[in-house]
Structure 1
Amino acid sequence: MGPRNLFLTNSPESSNDCEDNPTRNRGFSKRGDNDLDPDECMQRTGGLFGSRRPVLSGTGNGDTSQSRSGSGSERDSWKSEAEGGESSDTQGPKVTYIPPPPPEDEDSIFAHYQTGINFDKYDTILVEVSGHDAPPAILTFEEANLCQTLNNNIAKAGYTKLTPVQKYSIPIILAGRDLMACAQTGSGKTAAFLLPILAHMMRDGITASRFKELQEPECIIVAPTRELVNQIYLEARKFSFGTCVRAVVIYGGTQLGHSIRQIVQGCNILCATPGRLMDIIGKEKIGLKQIKYLVLDEADRMLDMGFGPEMKKLISCPGMPSKEQRQTLMFSATFPEEIQRLAAEFLKSNYLFVAVGQVGGACRDVQQTVLQVGQFSKREKLVEILRNIGDERTMVFVETKKKADFIATFLCQEKISTTSIHGDREQREREQALGDFRFGKCPVLVATSVAARGLDIENVQHVINFDLPSTIDEYVHRIGRTGRCGNTGRAISFFDLESDNHLAQPLVKVLTDAQQDVPAWLEEIAFSTYIPGFSGSTRGNVFASVDTRKGKSTLNTAGFSSSQAPNPLDDESWD
């Protein structure tokens, strides 16, 4: 059983796939070059489903085209439908896909995870809060003083214990503070921002806006992929059940008219991908004057060169309240130093930074193994591992879209039921692939990093890095697909001596911090590729990222850490 409509090709026009890029020995580009963002990528090269299509440089599908050069040094300009007209009429087929509506029965709305055997260990995780006058953490949902309807929905959703990121983020958001939260993937970040936002909306009341031509939501939540914004929407719908708050989700690859119809029925919380959001704003279907909350999920991705310009354009849109007049919240598994600098443009100067220990790569719920496997031995090793695994749900990460299809087809030929997801698959095909994977029809999913960002799929027991990513932060995000909600998982990475040596030192650090076995050969490579200035020790290793504003911090007796930071420079600019 193989991926649907999957045919191999050696089309020379597939230049979008950086396997054709001569700038690296392996032909793989750095993160961000290899796979156009699933939300934004509308370029359909001829290689995927047997038919050639022209490039959609506008947004007939409602998302922006973000073609990048092979080196990643340049970025094609983007233009929304509102600016460039219905470009799909002249440059490509009009998108007519309308996604099926989510189930409306209460049991489906409140379907939830079984928490894993290690869920109770969350109580011992170290948390660090940076910034002035942080409100104290809460220990139970009751302490949050939420309204009865929200408490009922929390109970029906199966939430009984707060996770560390929720203990700290909920009171911070309820206090009206801006927040940058760095927490392990799968640790409850979505509920951490939705619950306090909904609590405020229920307390303050919302504008009745059903069937108004111009909708003015109070909250916009932006995330990099269609699958992730849909997950956030389903959570918002769950927690707002039985209230007058209406959540809406919009994303590219679907009919623009469908997105507009969803919005005009009423919109208080808008979950969106960047391209479709900017199109809807350009069509004057969304007004921004009532925005009280702006949330960036997977914020490191939202502020990098992939989406940073779109986010800057969003906060500069007419009517968008300034950062002093709105509450801005950022959540991610990693916050590299450069991303924290960029975030200053979006956040008030007194924002709080929450770092939850054992994040991502340092998560002890994920057993991490690194194998030395040469480029030409990887396929054979992959088949061997998958046959030993059997039907357990497994995600296989590769660096390029073309390779995702190639490996998926290869595995099908080896009688291993496999499907794939990446930015060049049509929206209905992506949904079909995820459905086949979720429900066990295809227990193996081959994916690119960007396509799998933030995906929350229950019982993913294994992650295999067929190709290691170019950065350790991306490694953290990848292995976070398993070991979610306290469940245990396993991550296996193929380390190629020809191309992965740059990762040896940070990889040893991640493994050591998580108390995993470090192969002697990997330690030797790490030692021989010493990077000046790279910190391999200190207490801070329990955190994937630390507040760049922070000076010294002290641990309190409860095992939590609280530190005071000087005010950052106001309105730090970045060009």
Structure 2
Amino acid sequence: MYGHSSGASSSGSKSSGRQKRLYEDEYLERDDDEEEGAGDDMAYQPAPGSPATEESNKASSNQDEEDEDDPLDAFMADINQQAKKDKEASERHETEKEKPEKDDKKKLGRTDIDEEDMQESYFRFLDEQKAAAGDDDEIFEYDEDGNVIWTWKKVIDPLPSVDHATIDYAPFERRFYAEHSDISALNHFQTEQLRETLNIKTSGLNVPKPVTSFAHFGFDEQLMNAIRKSEYTQPTSIQAQAIPALLSGRDVIGIAKTGSGKTAAYLWPALVHIMHQPELQPGDGPIALIVVPTRELAIQVYHEAKKFGKVYNINVVCAYGGGSKWEQQNALTEGAEIVVATPGRIIDMVKMGATNFTRVTYLVFDEADRMFDMGFERQVRSIADHVRPDRQCLMFSATFKKRVERLAREQLNDAIRIVQGEIGEANEDIKQTVEVFATPPDKWAWLMERLVKFSTVGKVLIFVTRKQNSEELATNLKTRDMPVCLLHGDMQQLERNETISAFRKDIPILVATDVAARGLDIPEIRTVINYDVARDIDTHVHRIGRTGRAG
């Protein structure tokens, strides 16, 4: 399946050696526990109460009874017997700790995490924990990629509840929209006809009319110049309806297909909102808080926010797991009008005192359903509860499941619901082609026949369901001298950033699991190949939405 797209692309990914070192620290405790004693040259010392110690004591007591024979022979026999047992125990110890490091290919099974896939190691960990805790304790969840959410590494407790009645919040301005005369002239029938043309449906009280041009938004010349430089020609459907609602100060639920311009739809009104608020004072938290589910999407939104925010000298900070906590903490302490963050990391930063939500008056949850799928429901709810109740709140996503809809009803006030197309509908700009093969070799042959042609048209993204299969496919392509890079959920954040950066610049083919199904915005992608069929329709929609973006 393939498609064509045009639009602004975001900056390359940011990475640093410090990020990698700090990210690896999260695993050190587990690695140290497993490697402790490995390669130890000290003699084996039996623990008190161990069978070896008991037998040694027994041998010592029996020695007195055998003194009548030959005390020296009896003593030496005991020493030899104990030395033999010590040697056997030491060999078992070395086998468990060191043998996996010797690359013994003939051995069946693996006993060390260095040789084990992280996921396989975690499954083994779960089996041990569930055996001890009982089957009723569900201590893990899966994301849409089928990867385990690593709850054993760090359990993120939600933020504590806040009594907003005890806090004296300063009033803030939230309405900045003046309807253009061209739009005011539209009657009810013409307005509904325009919405039908834009393929959008709305619900709620007093929904503002959609617009047809950037001039109808009333943006100042500075922001309009930045929009023109980004090669936007006219508002997308979701922007045409959502931006007037947001500039009017309304809460919004936006449901739109992937690549429809949702990010700009909430970023541009955020800039207008911020410019009408008092300047930040030392110790103040952000004015606009944007919460996203994944690191890749956080970096994506951060670059977009930074690109448009520099028009007004607005500071933007990105806080996500895997990045340097020290650097993120310092950046938040210095102050930023916009913070883009994943749920776990922003909760950590608030608990550390690096930032606070007292100034947040513009709250965005992007891909809220994905956050719930990843097990962040309690964290997301605690973030929403921690922000002042009268803030302006937005929820954007390509799909909208019942749990998220329930959260929207609880957290949004007098919200406008905007749906572009049908919920979960695939992007109409993408041409989809289905090929059915009898055997895997037929599928491989089909790929080899067409991959060069696809890569000459534009960048190619190949989706594989399992991490192991993605590695195998990437290796096979490299043996055919195909320029390819690999992306999956077990890679460290620095490696992910480097992979995405290489794919943006030089390498035309990316093999990926569904970790790349959301938040990857590279306009040069012209072909998406579902080498393995997606697990469900939502994942399929997000996969193919990596192309045909923004028209």
- TM-score bucket (shorter structure): 0.5 to 0.7
- How much does 1:359 deviate? 7.3
CA-based RMSD:
3.2
Q: Deviations over 1:366-395 (max 9, x none)?
A: 110122235634444433332442443111
Which residue pairs with 2:225 in the alignment? 152
**Residue 381 of structure 2 aligns to which amino acid in structure 1?**
K
Tell me what 2:450 maps to: 385
Q: CA deviation at 1:191?
A: 1.0
Indicate whether 1:313 and 2:382 are aligned: yes
Question: What does residue 462 of structure 1 align with?
Answer: 527
* Alignment partner of 1:433 out of 499, 506, 528: 499
Q: Deviations over 1:385-435 (max 9, x none)?
A: 324424431111122223222221222122222111122112221111111
The correspondence of residues 39-50 of structure 1 with structure 2, limited to 5 A, is: none
Counterpart amino acid of residue 356 in structure 2: G
Poorly superposed stretches of 4+, deviation over 6 Å: 18-21, 80-83
Q: Residues 205 and 127 from structure 1, CA distance in 2 versus in 1: closer, same or farther, beyond 3 angstroms? A: same
Distance 2:446 2:281 in 1: 58
Q: What SS does structure 2 have at the residue aligned with 1:249?
A: strand
Aligned partners of 2:363 and 2:392 also within 8 Å: yes
TM-aligned CA distance change 1:425 to 1:480, over 3 Å: same
147-156 vs 167-176, greater mean Cα deviation? 147-156
Aligned-pair distance for 1:305? 4.9
How do 1:111-510 residues align onto structure 2 when only pairs under 5 Å count? 124-209=197-282, 212=283, 215-317=284-386, 320-322=387-389, 325-348=390-413, 350-357=414-421, 361-374=425-438, 376-377=440-441, 378-391=443-456, 392-439=458-505, 441-486=506-551
Shift of 1:122: 11
SS, match of residue 362 in structure 1? coil
1:79 paired to 2:156: yes
1:36 and 1:423 in contact (8 A); partners too: no
Bigger shift: 391-400 or 424-433? 391-400
TM-score when normalising by structure 2: 0.65
Q: Which amino acid aligns with 1:145?
A: G
Alpha-carbon distance in structure 2 between the residues aligned to 1:443 and 1:352:
41
Deviation at 1:18, TM superposition (A): 11
In structure 2, the residue matched to 1:552 is none
Q: Aligned equivalents of 1:36 and 1:20: distance in 2?
A: 9
Q: Alignment partner of 1:407: what SS?
A: helix
Offset at residue 481 of structure 1 (A): 0.2
Query: 1:204: Cα distance to partner?
Result: 2.9
- State the distance in 2 between where 1:244 and 1:180 align: 29
Find the residue that maps to 1:288 and give its secondary structure.
coil
Range moving further from structure 2, 122-131 or 297-306: 122-131
**Structure 1 residues 375 and 336, CA, compared in 2 at 3 Å: closer, same or farther?**
farther
What is the CA–CA distance in structure 1 between the aligned matches of 2:156 and 2:315, rounded to whole Å?
29
Q: Is the 8 A contact 1:226 1:273 kept in 2?
A: yes
Q: Residue 32 in 1 paired to residue 144 in 2?
A: yes
Cα 1:207–1:479, aligned 2, differ >3 Å: closer, same or farther? same
SS at match of 2:433: strand
Aligned-pair CA distance for 1:267: 0.9
| d(CA) in 2 for partners of 1:161, 1:387 | 34
Aligned partner letter, 2:549: R
Preserved contact between residue 464 and residue 513 of structure 2 (Cα < 8 Å): yes
Structure 1 pair 299–146 and aligned structure 2 pair: CA distance change class (3 A): same
The answer (yes or no) to whether the contact 1:157–1:238 under 8 Å persists in 2 is no
- 1:2-81 → structure 2 map (5 Å cutoff): 13-14=116-117, 16=119, 32=144, 34-36=146-148, 57-58=153-154, 78-79=155-156
SS in 1 for 2:213: coil
The answer (yes or no) to whether the contact 2:145–2:515 under 8 Å persists in 1 is no
In structure 2, stretches of 5+ residues that fail to align are: 1-102, 125-140, 161-193
**CA positional deviation for 1:249:** 1.0
Which deviates more, 369-378 or 268-277? 369-378
Residue 269 of structure 1: CA displacement? 0.5
Distance across 2 between alignment mates of 1:417 and 1:410: 11
Percent identity (aligned): 36
Match of residue 23 from structure 2? none
SS in 1 for 2:470: helix
**How far is 1:222 from its partner?**
1.1
Q: Distance in 1 between matches of 2:542 and 2:307?
A: 25
* Partners of 1:217 and 1:290 within 8 A in 2: yes
Residue by residue, what CA displacement relative to the aligned partner does 1:450-494 show, whole Å, maximum 9, x if unpaired? Answer: 3431210121011111222221111111100011122xxxxxxxx
Counterpart-to-counterpart distance in 1, 2:421 and 2:378: 31
| Amino acid of the structure 2 residue aligned with 1:367 | K
8 Å Cα contact 1:421-1:430 kept in structure 2: yes
Q: What is the alpha-carbon distance in structure 2 between the residues aligned to residue 18 and residue 478 of structure 1?
A: 28
Partner-residue secondary structure (3-state), 1:435: helix
Whole-angstrom distance in 1 between the partners of 2:377 and 2:449: 41
Corresponding residue of 1:553: none
Provide the C-alpha distance between the structure 2 equivalents of 1:186 and 1:122, rounded to a whole number of angstroms: 19
Distance 1:451 1:307, change over 3 A: farther
Larger displacement relative to structure 2 (156-165 or 468-477):
156-165
Partner SS, residue 355 of structure 1: strand
- Summarize the Cα distance change of 1:143–1:337 in structure 2 as closer, same or farther, 3 Å threshold: same
Deviations 1:201-233 (A, max 9, x none): 112333244xx4xx4111110111212111211
In the TM superposition, what is the alpha-carbon distance from 1:338 to its structure 2 partner?
A: 4.5
The offset of 1:294, in angstroms, is 1.3
- Change in Cα spacing, 1:373 to 1:296, as seen in structure 2 (3 Å) is farther
1:15 Cα shift? 6.2
Name the SS of the counterpart of 1:423 in structure 2. coil
SS at match of 2:435: strand
- Give 1:91-102 correspondences, 5 Å limit: none
Residue aligned with 1:152, SS: helix
Count of matched residue positions in the alignment of Structure 1 and Structure 2: 392
* Paired residue secondary structure (1:344): helix
SS of 1:446's partner is strand
Shift of the 417–19 alpha-carbon distance from structure 1 to 2, 3 Å rule, reads: farther
Consecutive unaligned residues of structure 1, counting only runs of 5 or more, are 1-6, 22-28, 44-55, 59-77, 84-120, 487-575
CA distance in 2, matches of 1:432, 1:240: 25
- Confirm or deny: 8 A CA contact 1:185 1:454 kept in the other structure: no
Asked if structure 2 preserves the Cα contact closer than 8 Å seen for 1:438 and 1:457, the reply is yes
Change (3 A) 1:19 1:409: farther
**Counterpart Cα distance in 2 of 1:372 and 1:217:** 51
Is the Cα–Cα contact under 8 Å of residues 157 and 379 in structure 2 kept in the other structure?
A: no
